[in-house]
Amino acid sequence: MKKLEKKIIDRAKAEEVSREMRVAGRTLVFTNGCFDLIHPGHVDILIRARMLGNALMVGLNTDDSIRRLKGPSRPILDEHSRALMLAALEVVNWVVMFDEDTPAELIKAVKPMILVKGEDYKAEDVVGKEIVEEYGGRVEIIPFSKHYSTSSLLEKIRVEKSR
């Protein structure tokens, strides 16, 4: 577990590793989300995101942030559990939590060269697009290999439970 814990970093450490990568001429890829129930769709996007650069940093909404965005019944798993599961994935180099409703401030601090989201987003609607493009970075939209969503999985569980 200690190895996984080392991959969960705070904002100051995230800024430091990002700065070190830029100085070394390496490409940092960044994506973000709630990752409330990690499913194959998440894993697929994370794998493909990591292939775009030298390292992958995942911004993770805190529990409070998720409650504000999705309501009092979410998250299903607490932030530490979600961070550990993401850290357990070999393709994820670092996980950094953010408490704001959007990752804009974290993106400003970290300055990734590539900002990744799934195809449920249009590039022009991605939070942080203008930020990364301002310093020469770019947004990549990754198509789903198969569509999964946490909300639809939760609905399926509710339906099954009511039978």
Q: If you compute the radius of gyration of the chain from its CA atoms, what whole number of angstroms results? A: 16
CATH match for 2-162 among 3.90.1150.10, 3.40.50.620, 3.40.50.300, 3.40.50.720: 3.40.50.620
With beta carbons less than 8 A apart as the criterion, state whether 18 and 28 touch: yes
pLDDT tens column, 5-30 = 899 999 999 999 999 999 999 999 99
For the chain, the structural domain boundaries read 2-162
pTM for the model: 0.90
Residue 15 tokens, joined: 């800024």
pLDDT at 110 over 80: yes
| Tokens 């990002």 belong to residue | 18
Q: How confident is the model at residue 2 (pLDDT cuts 50, 70, 90)?
A: confident
Instruction: Give pLDDT tens digits for 53-101.
Output: 999 999 999 999 999 999 999 999 999 999 999 999 999 999 999 999 9
